[in-house]
A = this chain, B = another copy of it.
């Protein structure tokens, strides 16, 4: 939309403040808030700063490097629950409070799950979370369970993000799919799925509410799955 506005060859000569890596990442976070991590281009990012795309490469690096920096920023504002909480409450709080932070920055959850503990801001959370599990008696399984719980929850956030940007209109299309034609009476499983979708629509729950319900359900089941390790041992 808006390109560089100065016609000088030098920003300082035009009385403009210099561009820094910090300012570039600030702008990238803002664009991510508006359009998601995959929703902006290097050119748009530079344009938002009144500069050319080359300066992004000069100060930060390629698209992947900028994206990692955005992820690091977002993760740094994630809540870090108190170490005194029991393990189940600790992870409930992290996963339930963490979701809105991630959802406000679409695409960050996906990249977080992908690059994992490469993100420096994630290290304090990993440290405390693994400790909480060790203390709860997960012992040698603590790191594995940690990865399992965070993956299960945040992968789902990633899917929610992607679904939102999908052109197919998401959940609405599923209502159509099932309400369009009567389901084969010889297929009771499908019939149940159909009823389910239509019930939710009839209860006039918004797509966000439906997604939120399923997220909470998923977190609860994942915690149950981890808890089973303690009772069996």
Interface on A for B, CB 8 Å cutoff? 64, 110, 113-118, 123, 126-131, 134, 142-144, 146-148, 151-152, 155-156, 158-159, 162-163, 166-168, 173-174, 177, 187-190, 192-193, 196, 214, 217-218, 220-229
- Kindly state the separation between the CA atoms of A222 and B224 in the bound complex, as whole angstroms: 9
Closest B residue to A187 using CB positions: B127
Residues of B within 8 A of A187 (CB): 123, 127
A148 touches B192 (CB 8 A): no
A117 touches B193 (CB 8 A): yes
Q: Within the complex, which residue of B127, B143, B156 is in contact with A151, where a contact is CB–CB below 8 Å?
A: B156
Assembly stoichiometry (copies): 2
Beyond A130-B193, A151-B159, A221-B148, is A174–B116 a contact (Cβ under 8 Å)? Answer: yes
Chosen A-B contacts, 9 in total, with CB atoms closer than 8 Å, are: A110-B162, A114-B163, A115-B168, A134-B189, A151-B159, A155-B159, A221-B225, A224-B224, A225-B225
Beyond A156-B155, A221-B225, A222-B225, is A114–B189 a contact (Cβ under 8 Å)? Answer: no
Beyond A151-B156, A222-B222, is A196–B64 a contact (Cβ under 8 Å)? Answer: no
- Kindly state the separation between the CA atoms of A156 and B223 in the bound complex, as whole angstroms: 17
Nearest CB of B to A42, in Å: 16
B177 touches A127 (CB 8 A): no
- Kindly state the separation between the CA atoms of A155 and B189 in the bound complex, as whole angstroms: 23
- Kindly state the separation between the CA atoms of A41 and B196 in the bound complex, as whole angstroms: 38
Q: Within the complex, which residue of B131, B226, B229 is in contact with A188, where a contact is CB–CB below 8 Å?
A: B131
For the complex of A and B, the 7 pairs showing the least CB-CB separation, nearest first, are A225-B225, A130-B189, A221-B225, A127-B189, A224-B228, A155-B155, A131-B189
B130 touches A190 (CB 8 A): yes
A118 touches B151 (CB 8 A): no
Closest B residue to A167 using CB positions: B64
Q: A123-B190, A126-B190 are in contact. List 15 more A-B contacts (CB 8 A).
A: A110-B162, A113-B159, A114-B163, A115-B166, A116-B174, A118-B168, A118-B177, A126-B189, A130-B193, A144-B196, A146-B193, A152-B218, A155-B155, A222-B225, A224-B228
